[in-house]
């Protein structure tokens, strides 16, 4: 089992953190030939996607995604105003019905067997358990927070006592699986063994996020302490499980903007306790802006880009092998675009109409637009991004050709792998997932 970094400083952690620093300063040392760990393929599964989108856990299996993933991040778990992990049936705040109470029929079940009224675990959690049984080695992490549910992270992380209580509540609910009773569902240990770790999606410590999200200058140090508290308690719980020798993984979703990195992250310190971080590799520009722009370019001079994000984290001391590149399975779009040309860098009047939310469209829908003949597909091959434009509406997104370029970058730079937001945006046959898997599997 992995030892806690701080506890071993007197002996081996100095060498370990020095190795991380060497990787940061000379990432070429982690090129594919010296990359001994398998590349991570981390996909976010959205709790709410089972409704309107009708993207069920089983769809990760039938699409072929599950066979290619190493991790599924379940989005999201929420943090209460009391600073604890919680679930329940609270509109806009928690959905225990989707998590573990909703019965599924045989057609929507991974194992082809309908849920019964008596079983204590149903819903997404039970299906994820079945998916793991079918794909041994697949890990499931509970992802805490996200853009909308980071509201109370700063309060929960504010003091040693609040951090200890917060982490303990998350481990009790998700790692130990002690779910609130909901009719015949839930109870002590109902979800035990389902989650293999925790993903921290605090957006953002030390700087502004959603309109109601609290942030403070001291969040930067408190985030470091929170990460350490999670590492300490996860390791302690693993040790208490005699004979299992399990390592509970700990990851975080982290930003691209240098100002946000510096406001909220003591990079070298948190990397001692985190197994890896998922880099924001998208939303560099969004449809709420008044000018069209790329949202996920690999390179972009004088602008946000994937390469810039990687370099910012390496420069601050992150080891390349712990950096997992975020990739979008969706696009950002604008309408009312004027100025002619290929549409990029031009004024726009509004987010583009879309299936679920204006300005945001799944790859599978954008693929159909690209094949419709009404849009022209444009590429910046040098900088690694693509967009669609019909003279009025523009969509910037990643297609398989872009993702092949990005997977080559991961291998050449010795990064830890790829992350995807979110799996429900892919095609029914998992086209994007397959593209990335093939790119990372090349020898």
- Say whether pLDDT at 4 is over 90: no
**In this structure, what DSSP letter does residue 347 have?**
B
**Is the bond into 422 cis (omega within 30 degrees of 0)?**
yes
> Does 203 participate in catalysis according to the annotation?
yes
- Say whether pLDDT at 9 is over 80: no
Q: Beta-carbon neighbour count of residue 53 at 10 Å?
A: 16
- Say whether pLDDT at 95 is over 80: yes
> What interhelical angle do 400-413 and 431-441 show, nearest 10?
30
Predicted confidence band of residue 242 (pLDDT cuts 50, 70, 90):
confident
Q: Beta-carbon neighbour count of residue 41 at 10 Å?
A: 21
Residue 36, pLDDT score: 53
pLDDT in tens, 144-183: 999 999 999 999 999 999 999 999 999 999 999 999 999 9
Average pLDDT over the chain, rounded to whole?
A: 93
Mean pLDDT for the stretch of residues 325-339: 98
Q: How far apart are CA 251 and CA 41, in angstroms?
A: 13
Residue 22, pLDDT score: 45
* pLDDT above 90 coverage of the chain, percent: 90
Q: How far apart are CA 315 and CA 300, in angstroms?
A: 18
More confident residue, 253 or 13: 253
- Say whether pLDDT at 7 is over 80: no
Q: 30 with 413: CB under 8 angstroms?
A: yes
Mean pLDDT for the stretch of residues 324-333: 98
- Say whether pLDDT at 257 is over 60: yes
Residue 31, pLDDT score: 39
In order of start, what are the domains of the chain with their CATH numbers?
Answer: 6-332+399-441 (3.20.20.80)
The active-site residue out of 130, 203, 229, 361 is 203
Q: How far apart are CA 134 and CA 111, in angstroms?
A: 8
The answer, as to whether pTM is greater than 0.95, is no
Q: Exposed, middle or buried, 371 (CB in 10 Å: 0-12/13-18/19+)?
A: exposed
More confident residue, 19 or 349: 349
Q: 170 with 85: CB under 8 angstroms?
A: yes
3 state DSSP class of 392: coil
pLDDT in tens, 25-69: 443 333 333 445 799 999 999 999 999 999 999 999 999 999 999
Distances (CA, A) of 424 to 46, 96, 364, 378: 8, 20, 9, 25
Residue 243, pLDDT score: 78
Residue 17, pLDDT score: 52
Residue 244, pLDDT score: 76
């Amino acid at each position: 089992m992995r030892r806690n970094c701080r506890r071993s400083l007197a002996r081996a952690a100095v060498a370990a953190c020095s190795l991380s620093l060497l990787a940061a300063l000379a990432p070429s040392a982690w090129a594919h030939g010296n990359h001994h760990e398998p590349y991570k393929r981390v996909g976010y599964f959205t709790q709410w996607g089972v409704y309107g989108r009708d993207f069920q856990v089983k769809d990760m299996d039938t699409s072929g995604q599950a066979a290619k993933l190493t991790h599924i991040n379940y989005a999201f778990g929420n943090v209460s105003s009391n600073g604890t992990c919680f679930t329940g049936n609270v509109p806009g705040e928690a959905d225990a019905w989707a998590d573990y109470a909703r019965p599924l029929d045989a057609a929507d079940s991974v194992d082809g067997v309908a849920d019964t009224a008596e079983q204590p675990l149903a819903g997404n959690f039970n299906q994820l358990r079945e998916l793991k049984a079918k794909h041994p080695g697949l890990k499931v992490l509970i992802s805490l927070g996200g853009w909308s549910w980071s509201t109370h992270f700063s309060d929960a992380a504010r003091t040693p006592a609040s951090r200890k209580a917060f982490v303990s509540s998350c481990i009790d609910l998700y790692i130990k699986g002690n779910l609130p009773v909901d009719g015949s569902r839930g109870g002590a240990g109902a979800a035990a063994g389902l989650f293999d770790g925790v993903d921290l999606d605090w957006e953002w410590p030390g700087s502004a996020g959603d309109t109601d999200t609290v942030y403070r200058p001291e969040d930067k140090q408190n985030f470091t302490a929170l990460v350490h508290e999670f590492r300490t308690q996860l390791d302690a719980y693993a040790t208490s499980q005699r004979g299992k020798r399990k390592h509970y993984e700990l990851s975080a979703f982290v930003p691209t903007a240098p100002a946000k990195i510096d406001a909220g992250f003591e990079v070298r310190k948190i990397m001692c306790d985190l197994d890896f971080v998922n880099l924001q590799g998208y939303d560099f520009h969004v449809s709420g802006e008044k000018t069209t722009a790329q949202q996920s370019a690999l390179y972009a001079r004088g602008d946000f880009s994937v390469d810039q994000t990687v370099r910012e984290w390496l420069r601050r001391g992150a080891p390349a092998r712990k950096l997992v590149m975020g990739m979008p399975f969706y696009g950002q779009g604008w309408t009312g675009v004027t100025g002619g040309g290929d549409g990029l860098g031009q004024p726009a009047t509004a987010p583009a109409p879309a299936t679920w939310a204006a300005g945001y469209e799944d790859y599978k829908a954008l693929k159909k637009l690209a094949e419709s003949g009404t849009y022209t597909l444009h590429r910046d091959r040098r900088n690694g991004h693509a967009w669609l434009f019909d003279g009025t509406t523009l969509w910037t997104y990643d297609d398989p050709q872009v993702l092949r370029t990005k997977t080559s970058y991961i291998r050449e730079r010795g990064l830890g792998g790829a992350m995807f937001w979110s799996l429900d945006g892919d095609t029914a046959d998992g086209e994007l997932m397959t593209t990335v898997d093939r790119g990372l599997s090349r020898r």
